[in-house]
Amino acid sequence: MRPVRNLAVLLTLVACSLSVPLRSDGQSADLPDTTPFASLGSGTAVNVNVDIILPANQGTLYFQNGAFVQWEAIDKATPSCRLSAGDSPTVRKLVPGRKLIVTGTRFGSGVANLYGDTLLFDDDATIAQLQCMSPRKGFMTIGDLKKVFGGLFSLIQAEPVVG
């Protein structure tokens, strides 16, 4: 069963990579908003636009429509994300201008209302990962991510590698 699942994921990634043209010659590296956000490349940055206080230990912050929310207040009909802080016994602060560099991505299961589409920040001791969920069946898109970010964060996509 596992080889079949791995093959399905591989075929999905190939299909996505063939449907999204690489841009070069000084053009923008921005992928279309309809692209699954797990297609963002390593080196893409999530830029912090506001002061964010991170809880001690392995705390989690939920946000939706550009605002931080409690888990109970999340509207399941709208995309949302949760930011997982790294393990630290102290409260920390992210300041505007701080860039969180993406080191990898993971696709979720494509099930609605399940946190699974993930941006990884392996080289950052403060933030472990950003997990998002789509309110519909399928994967979270870059457009969904921008909607969730609102003014809290901005996305700076990495330049494509043309080789």
Per domain, the residue ranges of the chain are 2-156
- Chain segment 103-118, per-residue pLDDT in tens: 988 887 666 667 888 8
The model's confidence at residue 80, banded by pLDDT at 50, 70 and 90, is: very high
Has residue 123 got a pLDDT over 50? Answer: yes
Alpha helices in the chain (DSSP H): 2-19, 142-149
Give CA–CA dist 142/22, Å, rounded.
16
CB atoms within 10 A of CB 49: 17
Q: What pLDDT shows up at residue 7? A: 44
**What's the mean pLDDT in 88-100?**
92
pLDDT at 153: 95
